[in-house]
Structure formats: structure tokens, C-alpha cells
Amino acid sequence: MATGTDFITDKLIDELNHTLVATQERLEQKEFVLDEKEIEIMERDELVEQLREKLATAEQLSTLQESKNAELLATFEQETAADIANWRAKLKCTEEELHQAKCESEKAIEKLTHERNALQEKLQDYESVVSKEQLRELYNTMEEKSQRIADLEQHLNEMNKKDSKICELQMEIDILQGIRCVLAEM
């Protein structure tokens, strides 16, 4: 027969076993929760690493894009500066040619006007002395000179229009240069 102490000991052992089993179950549950937390932490670490890689890639792309933009801007500035310099040189040359042609036209107009006036004076002086045929020749010569003067005046007007167009082109060049400066400051 079992004694009272054995009974108490058995009861204590049963309680201890029951407590041990309950504690083991709780430990297993906590280990399971810890395992789940570890898995979550590992997944988060993987996500963080992926995000770091993406951030590094984005920074590289941003640096590359900034470099490309700087290259494009420098190329644009060089091309624009070269274009502006070429246009200015062409305009200067055209301006000089127009000025020279203008001066020549003005001199020719002055000379022809002088010749026409001289012919008119001769015509008046010789009207009574000269035959009608000679008068007709003088008149035709005078008309030719007048027509030549009109043609030269027309040519001079066209040159003035071209001169005006040159001024417009110079303003456009100045605007382009202003745009280039603004872009360079960006």
C-alpha cells in the first residue's frame, strides 16, 4: 500500500508533470511566435536590402541623368554660341555689303541726277537751235537717265528693307543669346 507520503509525492509529481507539460506547450507556442517573428524580421531585412539596392540604383540613375543633362546643356550652349557667332559674322558682312551698295547707289543717283539736270539745261539751251531729231535724242537720253535713277532708287529701297531685316535678325540673335544665358544659369 501506498503511504501518505507516496500519495503526496505522486500527486506532486503529477502536478509537476502537468506544469512541465503546460510550460513546454507555452514554450513551444512562444518558440513558434519567435520563429514567426524571426521570419518577419528576415523578410523585412530582405525588403530593406532590396530598397537599399533600389535606392543605390536610383541614385546612380539620378547622377547619370544629371551628368547627361549637363552634357546636353554644354553641347547646346556651344552650338548656340557658334550659331550666334556665325549669324553675327554673316550679318556684319551683309551689313557692310549693303552699306557699300547703298553708298554706290547714292553716288550713282547723284551723278545721274547731275547728268539729267545738265541734259535738261542743254535741252533748254538748244531747243531753238537744234533739230527735232536731236531734241528727241536728248529727251530719250534724259528719259533713260531718269529711268536709271528710278531703278537705283528702287534698288536703294530694297537695300533699306534688307537693312531693316538685318536689324530684326540681330534682335532675334540677342533673344537667342538671352535664352542661352538663362539656360546656362539653370
Q: What is the pLDDT of residues 80-91, one digit of tens each?
A: 888 888 888 888
Whole-angstrom distance, CA of residue 149 vs CA of residue 69: 59
Contact (CB, 8 A) for 91 and 176? no
pLDDT at 85: 85
Return the minimum-mean-pLDDT range out of 10-14, 44-48, 61-65, 169-173.
169-173
Instruction: Provide the H-helix boundaries in the chain.
Output: 4-126, 132-185
CB pairs under 8 A, 24+ apart, for 58-63?
A: none
Q: Are 134 and 126 in contact (CB under 8 A)?
A: yes
Q: Of residues 148 and 180, which shows the higher confidence score? A: 148
Which long-range contacts link 132-137 to residues 24+ away (Cβ below 8 Å)? none
What pLDDT, in 10s, does the model give residues 121-155?
Answer: 877 776 666 677 777 887 888 888 888 888 888 88
Percent over 90 (pLDDT), the chain: 6
**Position with higher pLDDT, 127 vs 166:** 166
Per-residue pLDDT tens digits for 42-79:
999 899 999 999 989 988 988 888 888 888 888 888 88
The pLDDT of residue 50 = 92
**Which residues are CB-contacts of 127 (< 8 A; sequence separation ≥ 6)?**
135
For 95-120, what is the mean pLDDT? Answer: 83
Rounded (5°) CA angle 39-41-42: 65
- Cα separation of 115 and 135, whole Å? 16
**The model's pTM:** 0.42
Closest CA to 149 of 111, 101, 119: 111
Would you kindly state where each structural domain of the chain is located, as residue ranges?
131-185
Residue 52 has a pLDDT of 92
**Distance between CA atoms of residues 141 and 148, nearest Å:** 10
Q: Which pLDDT does position 130 carry in this prediction?
A: 62
CA proximity to 181, closest of 72, 86, 77, 87: 77
Report yes or no: 181 and 127 within 8 Å, Cβ to Cβ.
no
Report the 10 Å Cβ neighbour count for 105: 19
